[in-house]
Chains A and B, each alone.
Chain A
């Protein structure tokens, strides 16, 4: 798949917190530029990237939004495209903090395969140091150059597509390898600060889905000790994860294999697995019912999905001011763990 026939393109060099003037402007459309953008589009696979929803002014008649409004102008009003692209550059400069490197903002408009629609692509390519081997003179020379790297892991993109209507361009596909960064300021730069958008799966929904999928996996693999161990370890790690963004896919890749992975994957719909969210830890703990009791004799009783109460195998009673735990059940397996000699 290609980006589509190139209709217009704009490029600006943007530094963090930069004030006007901005170097850049409209770029003549050429076959070379079309080919370069097609290549970048294909490599990025942005047409399959996760979607975010723009946080439009829901009390405004025209669904006002700082990116959507400019995207509609860039896509459908050729005379005002440069002004809109410049406003996007100014907004990007304001969103970047001083730790960010200067970047190249490219705004390109393409024909869409959908009738009456156009595609707007927003790209940022960060400035990186590259070597240049200069052999033009008698002596070869190695020069250090600053260049905007279109293959950089720090590049970001947004694909906005639709007709010029109130019901369209309300969301975007987003490429951002830093959206899963542990530091929220880094993770939020592109989606939250610049695009003023939200992930389509809310933290509450994602956490609830994750807990349900883990519970289903735990139940279905009850006879498989290795799978149960993996699920227990995954839950332990997820509880300590902070607010780094995850997806069911990323959790499966990071913590599960074999039957645990297969069961985990089968417990959700394919459409849900790539959706990103942050874990709501209070909700997660509540749904997972992860309990860990350390007793005065050194014994630790811990398990996810542990139900406490009469008839559940584990009871906790208050006697003379002490909380007494009683656990009763049939031993299914016994292991004595020793260090390998």
Chain B
């Protein structure tokens, strides 16, 4: 892609960033409303993609029209206390929004420990877009959402900075795998504990 094109794309993205932020705010409000009766939610947060992050991804060859093709320009995350809560959140949000993509991210083989999360792509409902949004060409049609537990998040977030971007040496890779296995074990055990407790006991955690 030509440098001139990328400059235009950057300028276009910057000029529409306030609309994306407004949509992120609106989606956060709506998601909180959707999940207001669902217990054990740690946090719900949405954000508009940062300019530098967008430009870096937009330069890739597989996105000839990145302004309309990048689906994470607005994205959100719901973090639950327990693994069993993921299904509850999933069911509610799939009722509220129209899903076009759903993928359960997990290590490919049983002996591996690593990134776990549920990823969705949803259609942005028209009634959440402002009039100005409708006037601008090449606005995105979709947004991304991830659902994961606290322990999945505790491993995924620092790992993203520590290991994902570089190529760590084998010892560090092994240590990261140990952290992933520990997080998986803690997540699973916490879920088992939650199943043994009464709803009243758990109610104090909401």
Does B bind A? yes
In this complex, the interface size class of chain B, counting residues with CB under 8 Å from chain A, is 20 to 34
A121–B54 CA distance with the chains assembled, in angstroms: 34
A171 and B96 contact, CB distance less than 8 A: no
Residue A168 lies at the interface, judged by CB distance under 8 Å to chain B: yes
Closest chain A CB from B73 CB (angstroms): 11
A58 and B125 contact, CB distance less than 8 A: no
Binds A, one of B3-11, B12-20, B136-144, B187-195: B136-144
In this complex, the interface size class of chain A, counting residues with CB under 8 Å from chain B, is 20 to 34
Residue B205 lies at the interface, judged by CB distance under 8 Å to chain A: no
Across chains A and B, which 3 residue pairs bring their CB atoms closest together, nearest first? A53-B98, A200-B125, A58-B102
B26's nearest neighbour on chain A, judged by CB, is A269
B95 and A202 contact, CB distance less than 8 A: yes
Residue B130 lies at the interface, judged by CB distance under 8 Å to chain A: yes
Q: What does DSSP make chain B's interface, helix, strand, loop or mixed?
A: mixed
Question: B98-113: which have CB < 8 Å to A?
Answer: 98-103
Residue B88 lies at the interface, judged by CB distance under 8 Å to chain A: no
A165 and B65 contact, CB distance less than 8 A: yes
Question: A17-75: which have CB < 8 Å to B?
Answer: 50-51, 53-56, 58-59, 63
Chain B residues whose C-beta falls within 8 Å of the C-beta of A166 in the assembled complex: 69
- Select the residue from B102, B128, B142 with max chain A CB neighbours within 10 A: B128
Residues 39-79 of chain B, each 1 if its beta carbon lies under 8 Å from chain A, else 0: 00000000000000000000000000100110100000000
Residues 167-206 of chain A, each 1 if its beta carbon lies under 8 Å from chain B, else 0: 1101100000000000000000000000000101110110
Chain A residues whose C-beta falls within 8 Å of the C-beta of B131 in the assembled complex: 270-271
B95 and A200 contact, CB distance less than 8 A: no
Chain B residues whose C-beta falls within 8 Å of the C-beta of A270 in the assembled complex: 131
Residue A275 lies at the interface, judged by CB distance under 8 Å to chain B: yes
Which residue of the partner chain, among A53, A115, A202, contacts B137 with CB atoms under 8 Å?
Answer: A115
